[in-house]
Amino acid sequence: MTVPTPPSSPGSAPAPGIAVVTGAAGGMGAHISRRLHAEGHRVLLTDLDAAAAQRIAVELSPDGSTAEGLALDVADRAAFEAALSHVQERWGTPSILVNNAAMTQAADLMTLAAEDFNRVLTTNTGSVFFGCQVFGAAMADQGYGRIVNLASLAGQNGGTATGAHYAASKGAILTLTKVFARELASRGVTVNAISPGPHDLPIVHETVPADKLAGVVANIPVGRLGDPSYVADMVALLAAPNAGFVTGACWDVNGGLYVR
């Protein structure tokens, strides 16, 4: 039996790759940026806190040749367009986008203010929409790209400490991942999501009171918080050139809290 030869992909992976990470000034974004840089990619670390992003960039590349920090307000589409223009002038069209930035704000469900709900939902969902739209179009034009969106367990099980607005925004990110995956697949761009549960990160310790954290950990089947460096490894895997057959997927990293 002769196996048909699959059609060639629209484009080939640039070498080295050019990666853009949002929310890169600390936490998960910093882990992801370090991992992608270690893979040999040039990395643009973007964040509202440009100075903090630049400090990590200097740590990765003292001469600035392979890493740079840049201010980016992910709630603003024009800011994404400016960031794209900046990186294109500096290195070229990105081959990797990691939509990691998010606003986390604990809130009581029944007293959550409308303005807080709208701000968190718009920021977290809008950032992924704008990123996929602006950078995804540029990647499609070059015939190659890898987009990874950071969702959350909260968007799958309704959340706990993070509030209804955060949970709703992360559920929307999972849907946007499918929408853009379908739209961009034929043009060489994959779009996937990673859905972490509670990880050993500053934001978790800030959101969950110290006297309640032990109870949170006790409810995790594996009995511990997740390791953010493993999520960074997953991002690198989904961003690899040979990951072209994975798109529209959600990869769960939750210690057994949500099994499907």
Cα gap 100→46, rounded to integer Å: 10
Cα gap 170→151, rounded to integer Å: 5
Terminal alpha carbon distance of the chain: 36
Rama region for 164: left / alpha / beta (φ>0; ψ in -120 to 50; rest): alpha
Cα gap 93→217, rounded to integer Å: 42
Cα gap 258→260, rounded to integer Å: 7
Q: Which residues make Cβ contacts (< 8 Å) with residue 244, sequence separation at least 6?
A: 9, 188, 190
Cα gap 155→178, rounded to integer Å: 14
Burial of 11 (0-12, 13-18, 19+ CB in 10 A): middle
Indicate the angle between helix axes 77-90 and 114-142, nearest 10 degrees.
30
**Which residue is catalytic, options 144, 166, 230, 258?**
166
What 3-state class would DSSP assign to 96? strand
Does the annotation mark 166 as catalytic?
yes
Q: Check: CB of residue 150 under 8 Å from CB of residue 99.
A: yes
Q: What is the DSSP letter of 199?
A: B
Annotated catalytic residues are 166
